[in-house]
Amino acid sequence: METRIKFKKSVLEALPTPPADQRVTYYDTETNGLTLRITGAGAKSFSVLRRVKGGKLERITLGKFPTLPLEEARKKAMEALSELAQGNSVAAQVRRKKAEVITLEEVFADYLETRKNLKPRTVKDMRSALDETCADWLKKPITKITPAMVERRHKERGQKSEARANLAMRYLRALFNFAQAKYTDDDAPILTINPVKRLSETRAWYRVDRRQTLIKSHELAPWFKAVMALPSPDIRDYLLFVLFTGVRREEALKLKWEQVDLPGHAVTILDPKNHLDLVLPLSDYLQDLLSQRKAVSISEYVFADSHGRRISNFRYAQASIEKASGVAFCIHDLRRTYATTAESLDIPAYALKRLLNHSTDADVTAGYIVSTPERLREPMQKITDYLLKAGGLKETAPVVDIFQRRAGA
């Protein structure tokens, strides 16, 4: 039931405070739509209440009484009612103005709040790329970032690193796409264009070829010799595990003993890059390697030092290997070496995709194929045997370089 009274300062001051869990609203008989709401805490606020397009009831808060005098409240109410009479939603205007000044940093925060499944490493890389390329834009409203600014900054950053310039702009493009969907006015986007689109329109993206480095067959013997000579058995075993499984750097570093099934000769990679857990069979060589580590382990992590701390610093070990073997490499090169070896051995394409845990979302046929760990055991052993023979750790007939084989095919 509506309580209508003629608003006067003395009358409004004398209105009673409702119970703590309630609030009451009074309607002014002088100015149609002007109301005063009183909370259980005694706070009194002026507002305008009217129905807008579509019959939706809209409340526009004007200010608190007595800080906002009654006559000033009536004046503000008339202005708001005039906007409503013209079909303009005051609340929508307020929302629009608020969205128009939202900063790039706020968009990034909202993006991360929505995309909770992002890997911590991805979030860190996004932050790093934005800081490197457009740190001075983080406090700037996104509506003030223009296509010309993006084009100019991409070119400037590209003088230092074309790959990082492209990456930063891809992240920026994702944030603007998110902002266009997130911040709207009656379903119309506040942000009408994605300024990063300019790079595609002008063909300004840098062409950055994918890295192709790996350890070649004839380099495996000196590389293995240098690895086996490392003073740290923990880093040695880690490098061997990555090479013989093809897993990613972080996936191996985060591996815990609870993920290793020694009786079942298998290991489970949890929450990898594509978020699909992967069960890999263990070759005979890896079974022995992990069994020996388990016998002396004091940590929950598979690759931890003698104090139980997860290993982390590979710089000195890597430098030592490169100096002793003459083979320059990075950790991800081991995954490329594994994949290239598998392909050269004619491992079936779908088995190889599963071993590398590559996404098959766009491949309809792959969706019907179920690759069990047992189905992958033979390919895994085959890859291990080749790498051991090429590295001189297992006797065999002469090994044909996989690159010579592919060139002569």
Contacts with 217 (C-beta within 8 Å, 6 or more apart), sequence order: 390, 399, 400, 401, 402, 403
For residue 314, the 8-state DSSP code is -
> What's phi and psi for 205, nearest 5 deg?
-60, 140
Does 131 score more than 60 pLDDT?
Answer: yes
Does 129 score more than 60 pLDDT?
Answer: yes
Q: Please report which confidence band the pLDDT of residue 102 belongs to, taking 50, 70 and 90 as the band edges.
A: confident
What's the pLDDT score for residue 187?
59
Looking at the chain, the whole-number percentage of residues with pLDDT higher than 90 is 59
Residue with tokens 């902002």: 179
C-alpha–C-alpha distance, residues 305 and 65, integer Å? 67
Q: Is 185 helix (H, G, I), strand (E, B) or coil?
A: strand
Comparing 138-152, 203-217, 227-241, 324-338, the range with the smallest average pLDDT is 203-217
Half-sphere exposure of 294 (CA within 13 A, CB side): 15
Specify the pairing of strand 57-65 against strand 44-51.
antiparallel
What's the pLDDT score for residue 180?
86
pLDDT tens across 37-84, in order? 999 989 999 998 776 666 667 778 889 999 999 999 999 888 877 766
Q: Report whether 359 contacts 274 (CB < 8 A).
A: yes
Mean pLDDT of 343-347: 89
Mean pLDDT of 26-38: 91
Mean pLDDT of 160-165: 92
Q: Residues 164, 318, 166, CA angle at the centre, nearest 5°? A: 5
C-alpha–C-alpha distance, residues 313 and 255, integer Å? 16
Does 365 score more than 50 pLDDT?
Answer: no
Q: Please report which confidence band the pLDDT of residue 363 belongs to, taking 50, 70 and 90 as the band edges.
A: low
What's the pLDDT score for residue 183?
80
Does 208 score more than 80 pLDDT?
Answer: no
Q: Residues 343, 346, 351, CA angle at the centre, nearest 5°? A: 75
With both helix axes pointing from N to C terminus, report the angle between 104-114 and 162-182 in degrees, rounded to the nearest 10.
80
Does 399 score more than 80 pLDDT?
Answer: no
Q: Report whether 35 contacts 26 (CB < 8 A).
A: yes
Mean pLDDT of 380-387: 94
Taking the complete model, does pTM exceed 0.75, yes or no? no
Q: Please report which confidence band the pLDDT of residue 403 belongs to, taking 50, 70 and 90 as the band edges.
A: very low
Does 23 score more than 60 pLDDT?
Answer: yes
* Count of CB atoms situated within 10 Å of the CB of 19: 8
What's the pLDDT score for residue 112?
93
Top mean pLDDT of 131-140, 176-185, 272-281 is at 131-140
Top mean pLDDT of 205-219, 261-275, 368-382 is at 261-275
Does 407 score more than 60 pLDDT?
Answer: no
What's the pLDDT score for residue 95?
55
> In Å, what is the CA distance from 351 to each residue of 273, 297, 385?
18, 32, 17
Question: What proportions of the chain, in percent to the nearest 5, are helix, strand and coil?
Answer: 50, 15, 35
Q: Strand 266-269's sheet: what is its strand order?
A: 260-261, 266-269, 278-281
Q: Please report which confidence band the pLDDT of residue 352 belongs to, taking 50, 70 and 90 as the band edges.
A: confident
Q: Is 69 helix (H, G, I), strand (E, B) or coil?
A: coil
Does 302 score more than 90 pLDDT?
Answer: yes
